[in-house]
Amino acid sequence: MRMTSVLEAPGETIEGRATTQVERPEDVPLFRVVPLRDGAGRAVEHYHGVQREDSGEVVSVVSPRYSLLQHRAVAEAVHEIGAILDPPEDLEEGDFGRPRFPREQIRLYANGRRMEVKLVIGTKYRLDRENEFYPGIRVFNSLDGAWALRMEAFGLRLSCTNQLYAGARSYMEFRELHLISAQDMLAQLQRATYEVLEHFEEALSIYSRSMDRWIEISEIGPALRTVGIPPRHADRVCEALPEYFGSLLWGEVRRWEAYQLATDYFTHEVHVNPERERAFERAAARALLLEGSMEVRETIPA
Per-residue pLDDT in tens (0 to 9) along the chain, 302 residues: 233 333 433 333 233 347 899 999 999 999 999 998 887 778 788 899 999 999 899 999 998 888 899 999 999 999 999 999 888 876 655 544 556 678 899 999 988 999 999 999 988 888 888 888 889 999 999 998 887 788 888 888 887 777 776 654 433 455 666 665 666 888 888 888 888 888 888 888 888 999 999 998 889 999 999 999 999 999 998 887 766 566 556 688 899 989 988 988 888 888 888 888 888 888 999 999 876 544 444 443 34
Which of these, 91, 95, 93, lies nearest to 103 by C-alpha position?
91
Amino acid 173: pLDDT: 57
Last residue of a domain, one of 179, 209, 239: 209
Amino acid 21: pLDDT: 92
Same domain, 80 and 60: no
Amino acid 106: pLDDT: 96
Amino acid 302: pLDDT: 44
In angstroms, the CA 128 to CA 131 distance is 5
Would 122 be classed as within a structural domain?
A: yes
Distances (CA, A) of 72 to 36, 151, 275: 24, 16, 19
Amino acid 294: pLDDT: 46
Amino acid 96: pLDDT: 47
Give the torsion sign (CA, 126, 130, 134, 138).
negative
Longest alpha-carbon distance in the chain:
69
Would 297 be classed as within a structural domain?
A: no
Would 265 be classed as within a structural domain?
A: no
Determine if the pTM surpasses 0.85: no
Same domain, 61 and 163: no
Amino acid 149: pLDDT: 86
Same domain, 45 and 173: no
Same domain, 62 and 160: no
Distances (CA, A) of 28 to 114, 115, 130, 140, 242: 12, 10, 37, 14, 44
Cβ proximity of 135 and 200 under 8 Å = yes
Same domain, 118 and 134: yes
Amino acid 244: pLDDT: 57
Count structural domains, the chain. 2
In angstroms, the CA 155 to CA 132 distance is 10
Would 116 be classed as within a structural domain?
A: yes
Amino acid 61: pLDDT: 92
Which of these, 273, 282, 224, lies nearest to 9 by C-alpha position?
273
Same domain, 35 and 127: no
Same domain, 124 and 199: yes
| Helices 231-239 and 255-268, packing angle to 10 deg | 120
Contacts with 9 (C-beta within 8 Å, 6 or more apart), sequence order: 15, 276, 302
Cβ proximity of 21 and 115 under 8 Å = no
Last residue of a domain, one of 209, 233, 251: 209
Amino acid 101: pLDDT: 77
Domain range for 44 is 31-66
Same domain, 71 and 57: no
Same domain, 87 and 183: yes
Same domain, 38 and 108: no
Would 150 be classed as within a structural domain?
A: yes
Same domain, 170 and 46: no
Same domain, 151 and 172: yes
Would 198 be classed as within a structural domain?
A: yes
